Structure 1
Amino acid sequence: MNEKSRKIMQSSTFRPRLLAGVAIAAASTLLLAGCAGDVEAPPATQKPTSEPSAEATQTPSESLTIYTGRDKDEVAWVVSEFEKAHPEYAGKVTTVIAGAQDNLDRMRAEASNPQAGFLWGGTQQQFEQAAKEGLLAEYVPANGDAVPAQYKDPGNKWIAEMLLPEVIIYNSNILTAETAPQDWSELGDEKWKDQIVIRDVMPSGTMRTIYASIVYSAFAADGSPDAGYELLKKIDANTVSYAANPDDMYTQLDQGTGSVTVWNMQDALIQPLKNNRPWGYIMPKSGAPVLVDGVGIIENDKQEVAAQAFMDFLMEEGMQAKLATDYYQIPAMEIAADSQPEWMKDFKLNEAKIDWAVFAEHQDEWMTYWVDNIKDKG
């Protein structure tokens, strides 16, 4: 490997205390499996507390609209807890749930007349782009210092809430941990013809990250994306359906329309528990790309105070510990050991080595090539 390739293959820093190995010990009752999209609201086992910042104690905004790609039941629960803690906003919070890329595009279209105040969820690359385009307002949440510097914007336009490893998920009624694909490259094998269901890639920050990481692996090896494109062509040939949204993908996987998908590990863990889905998951041998999932305040004076209050509430350690316990989120911030759920204390991950600056530079180019030259052409 030449010097350029070695530089590209440098790994991003990633919380070695929590994430270091190859296996995961989640819970003894789990068949290592799926989460996100369609979960039941969790029981109130731990009441989060929040100390709003000085900024959030100003005259309340009249309302708050949140653009989010998060699970709808998780969103509903957090919003209900926020309204209890902030009764001045009871009944005044609206959520719009869509893919992360769709939310970014909506913000762009509304830039001259913003309709929302808070962006909840999206990749680091998407938040960096939104900040660059002036769509996000500067703000440091009350607990912002608990998040390491590598997981937040130097200009305070966004901050990471959680970390999302991306994995291979399979229908456990059809496949086992031994017979399911063990790595990204195996998804291109002919044996998986018409066995793969995929969440439509372009509207989804998660899928863009997964597919671009496949191209990145080839690019990091020799400076060319061609081998990555070739693998994506083979995966496209094996794909039986591009689902319009995560719920459709879950249903197709459950019903056996396909036996394999790729998605985030959080969903792989929680969906079998909350919705009795027949899922298992595989940590890819070559490594899982770890998506930094952020939050930010949209540039909108009319909703700014409410958005600040919501960000403070969401990023409070008690709330993050609760979400880790009930939704298998990996918080971007450090959580005190006595607040961590058991699965997190034992959690280990085989993280893919990615230079995220190089990744961000080429992601749009690679995904544009995929949609123009690969999708539905296999």
Structure 2
Amino acid sequence: MGLKSKWIMMLVILLVVGTITGCMTSTSGGEQARKDGLEEKVVVYSPHGKDILQDFEKQFEKEYPHVDVEWLDIGSQEILDRVRSEKANPQADLWWGAPSVMFEQARDEGLLQPYHPGYADSLPKEFRASDWSWTGTSQTPEVIMYNTREVPEGEVPRDWDDLLDPKWKDRIIIRYPLASGTMRTVFSALIYRDYKETKRPDQGYEWLKKLDANTKEYSANPEMMYSKVARGEGALTIWNMPDTVMLKETKNYPFDFVIPESGTPVLTEGIALVKGGKHPKAAKAFYEFVNSKQAMKHLAKTYYRIPTRNDIQGLPAWIAETRIKPMDLDWGFLQEKENEWMDHWDQKIKNKAKQKEE
């Protein structure tokens, strides 16, 4: 046999051995997954961002090495729209993260699978659906976030109405509201401030028109908004307190925040199983994993999430010491009106001030 023939034979043997080994590994993984009672994959839709998602993907796969976590990082409204469009053939198993009002919408549309978690006794009733179709994972106060290099301490807005001052014209950058559950809820809450007395949204619409006049742009995703505010392309935004503190302390962004003095929406972030998901056992395991005591502590210390569970000890001091004045909101009513109000904003308010100037 010539040298060339020997090399060809050796290559064939290596390919055969590799194929057999790969099959054995795959079979072993499948057997272990079946032994654990879990499928070999779980698909998660979440707006939590790649830092949290990559972190918990790694942690979960370490605990369950034969389950592959696949995640899609998109905005809350985009998730709801996607789950709606996939109702006949669900692609996600788990929806992790969004304001509770959005989970309520999904529940009303029959998109969620009720699940009674193992930690149910430690979860107050206000942090879950009545039928357990979703449960709350964290509480998220909304704030005015600003660039400390661009805004002197004495000029920082202290309340919502301060954002309407003409001095902030073209200095405000906001996450595009229609794709963001956070911003949809904030805008709806600001309309509701006057609506609860007048029973009309007109004053709220007028407020949003003035804010639009000061807004430089609506960013397509949070990362773009963070970067532009950090670079000084904008000085202010409306966002949530946990993300603001996290960006300041972990990425050294020049950010700080003010909790509006008149009150702020405090959102309940939720989690839910998608009805008809193809990997329900792995989804329940992930659900329990990210809501465990250990996970709640990790989320609080590393990602500044305020847990909804009332049995978590050893939380950071900033959680215990933070004083927040929640807005008086009728969350059920906001859920009913949100689409109507946001459609009006999109069609009648967004960028109208700039169009007049042009």
Report TM bin, short chain: 0.7 to 0.9
- Give 1 or 2: higher helix fraction: 2
Q: 2:324 aligns with which of 349, 359, 363?
A: 349
Q: How does 1:20-39 map to 2 (within 5 A)?
A: none
Separation in 2 of the partners of 1:335 and 1:252? 39
Structure 1 unaligned blocks of 5 or more: 1-55
Q: CA deviation at 1:336?
A: 3.5
Among 135, 159, 180, which residue is 2:111 paired with? Answer: 135
Structure ranking higher on relative contact order (CA contacts 8 Å, 6+ apart): 1
- Counterpart-to-counterpart distance in 2, 1:261 and 1:301: 36
- Structure 1 pair 305/172, CA: closer, same or farther in 2 (3 Å)? same
For residues 237 and 186 of structure 2, the distance between their equivalents in structure 1, rounded to whole angstroms, comes to 11
Counterpart pick for 1:240 among 200, 205, 216: 216
Conserved in 1, the CA contact under 8 Å of 2:105 and 2:335? no
Matching of residue 171 in structure 1 with residue 147 in structure 2:
yes
Aligned residue runs from structure 1 range 66-105, under 5 A: 66-89=44-67, 92-105=68-81
After TM superposition, give the deviation of residue 176 of structure 1 in Å.
3.0
Structure 1 CA distance for aligned equivalents of residues 85 and 51 of structure 2:
27
Let me know the Cα RMSD of the aligned residues: 1.4
Distance in structure 1 (CA, Å) of the matches to 2:221 and 2:191: 23
- Cα distance in 1 for partners of 2:316, 2:156 equals 29
Structure 2 residue runs of 5 or longer lacking an equivalent are 1-33, 354-358
Q: CA deviation at 1:66?
A: 0.3
Structure 1 position 358 matched with structure 2 position 347: no
Shift of 1:358: 2.0
Change (3 A) 1:137 1:377: same
Structure 2 counterpart of 1:216? 192
Structure 2 counterpart of 1:368: 343
User: Secondary structure of 2:268's match?
Assistant: strand
Distance 2:230 2:277 in 1: 44
- TM-score w.r.t. the length of structure 2 is 0.87
**Within the alignment, does 1:283 sit opposite 2:259 as a pair?**
yes
Preserved CA contact (<8 Å) 1:143 1:317: no
d(CA) in 2 for partners of 1:210, 1:177: 24
Letter paired with 2:286: F
**Mapped partners of 2:322, 2:203: distance in 1:** 32
TM-score (normalised: structure 1): 0.82
Deviations along 1:169-217, one digit per CA (max 9) or x if unpaired, are 1110011333111111111121111110011110000110111111010
- The residue aligned with 1:62 is 40
The equivalent residue for 2:16 is: none
One-letter amino acid of the structure 1 residue matched with residue 116 of structure 2 = V
Secondary structure, counterpart of 2:174 in structure 1: strand
Report SS of the residue matched to 1:87: coil
Shift of 1:267: 1.0
Query: 3-state DSSP class of the match of 1:224?
Result: coil
For the pair shown, the structure with the greater C-alpha radius of gyration is: 2
Answer whether contact 1:67 1:96 (CA < 8 A) is retained.
yes
